[in-house]
Amino acid sequence: MKRKPLSEDSILRKILASCRASPSGGRVSPSIALCIGDDAALFRPKPGYETVLTCDWFLEGTHFLRDKHPPDSVGWKCLARAVSDVAAMGGTPKCFLLSLALPASLTGRWFDDFLVGLRRASRKFQCALAGGDTTRRDEVLINVTVIGEVKAGRAVFRSGAQAGDVIYVSGRLGEAELGLQVLKRSKRLASRNDPLTRKHLYPEPRIALGQWLAKNRLASSMMDLSDGLSSDLPRLCAASSVGARLEIAKIPRVRIPKYASSQQTDSTRLALHGGDDYELLFSLPPHKLHLVPARFRGVPLTSIGIITGKRELVILDESGSKRQLVASGWDPFRERSPRLATRSPDNCSI
């Protein structure tokens, strides 16, 4: 039975009901003085901490497809992406603002499922809904602002890498990109339980790892991998005025089951250029290497190369021969189609 579109008030009540129960069973974070319903939200900063601020688009057709991405993954991922930016500074997410524009026809089941995913993410990341803005639109438009905190002076920037530092990544790269390829080949909505698409649909920002690296002053620079290593490493190097030499054999990469392989699924290419992994890319001064374990809470940490003083990006392949690393960054303003690219057409943080 088709349900009547909800009124805006009912939409707000639903979001509120979802909020009240997050992030931890009925209690809203004590740092949020006023949760929702007023002109603005109040956040009570912890003395001695700085506030981390980030926002992220998540747009139908650009970042997700309504006929492929389950609504709960849209709810999860719109928050996870923004939380990952806070993790990449070494911060702790605290609360978020949700801006949501929705067609009237999606205010029923789709919206319910969206809220299920959003609420799960909000609980998992301990990041409470603090406010937002809703309106109607023909396509689903989402913008999420996440507010986090980090002890004053402990945030890790992109700009701190120095020649001689060792370059690390967390996890295995290319998994989300493989998931996107599988999703695009499939004719229906993705299943929540398919391990191949899981990382693309429900990414897990590396919050605890980022905090640990920042708290112990280990990483000299850090960022999250949202557009792919070949696009993001040049950004870190540019911010730090350094270069890098990567060893391709060392890059931890997605394992591709036979049944999922195709002409496009080369694990090295996926690991180098695939987006949406939300793993952390960071550099470590050589005298701190012994402090970093091979795994952090089950997530592998792998050294993949070295920061150099020469402002070029070099990659050593398996045979030991050198070539330039070509950033295969997706520029939404140059591509002909603004639609979801196979390599994630990520927007760009200012």
308 to 337, contacts with its own copies by CB under 8 A? 331-335
Read off φ and ψ for residue 313, nearest 5 degrees.
Answer: -115, 115
Whichever of 46 and 255 has its CB closer to its own copies, that residue is 46
List the structure tokens of 179.
Answer: 């998931």
Position 205 contacts its own copies (CB under 8 A) = no
**Residue whose structure tokens are 């270069």:** 243
Between CA 161 and CA 246 the distance in angstroms is 15
Closer residue to its own copies (CB): 91 or 274: 91
* Concatenated DSSP letters of 108-138: THHHHHHHHHHHHHHHHTT-EEEEEEEEE-S
Using DSSP bridges, classify how beta strands 313-316 and 280-284 pair: parallel, antiparallel or unpaired.
unpaired
Q: Per CB under 8 A, does 75 bind its own copies?
A: no
Name residues contacting its own copies, limited to 90-109 (CB under 8 A): 91, 95, 97-99, 101-102, 104, 107
Task: Check: CB of residue 99 under 8 Å from CB of residue 132.
Answer: yes
- Least distance to its own copies from the beta carbon of 94, Å? 10
Check binding of 11 to its own copies (CB under 8 A): yes
Residues 102-141 that bind its own copies (CB under 8 A): 102, 104, 107, 129-138, 141
Contact pick of 3, 17, 27, 152 for its own copies (by CB under 8 A): 152
From residue 158, give the alpha-carbon distance in Å to each of 146, 161, 224, 347: 19, 7, 10, 18
Neighbours of 139 (CB within 10 A): 13
User: According to CB under 8 A, which one of 17, 53, 208, 326 is a site residue for its own copies?
Assistant: 53
- Please report whether residue 7 would count as binding its own copies according to CB under 8 A: yes
**What x-and-dash track marks residues 233-272 binding its own copies by CB under 8 A?**
------x---------------------------------
The b-or-e profile of 164-185 (16+ CB within 10 A means b, else e) is ebbbbbbbbbbbbbbbbbbbee
Q: Does 347 bind its own copies (CB under 8 A)?
A: yes
12 near its own copies (CB under 8 A): yes
Which of 3, 17, 24, 33 lies at the binding interface for its own copies (CB under 8 A)? 33
Q: Which stretch binds its own copies (CB under 8 A): 81-89, 180-188, 254-262, 263-271?
A: 81-89
Which residue among 47, 293, 298, 320 contacts its own copies (CB under 8 A)? 47
DSSP character string of 236-279: HHHHHT-EEEEEGGGS-B----GGG--TT--HHHHHHH------
Smallest distance, its own copies to C-beta of residue 138, A = 7
Q: How far is the CB of 294 from its own copies (least distance, A)?
A: 25
Of these, 21, 34, 116, 341, which contacts its own copies (CB under 8 A)?
Answer: 34
Q: What is the C-alpha to C-alpha distance for residues 202 and 274, in angstroms, rounded to an integer?
A: 16
**Least distance in angstroms from the C-beta of 344 to its own copies:** 12
55 near its own copies (CB under 8 A): yes
Single out the segment in contact with its own copies by CB under 8 A; choices: 143-151, 182-190, 192-200, 312-320: 143-151
Give me the residue label for tokens 């070949």. Answer: 230
Least distance from C-beta 56 to its own copies, angstroms?
A: 6
Of positions 26, 30, 37, 195, contacts its own copies by CB under 8 A: 37
Instruction: Give the number of other Cβ atoms within 10 Å of residue 25's Cβ.
Output: 7
Assigned token pair, 37: 């319903």
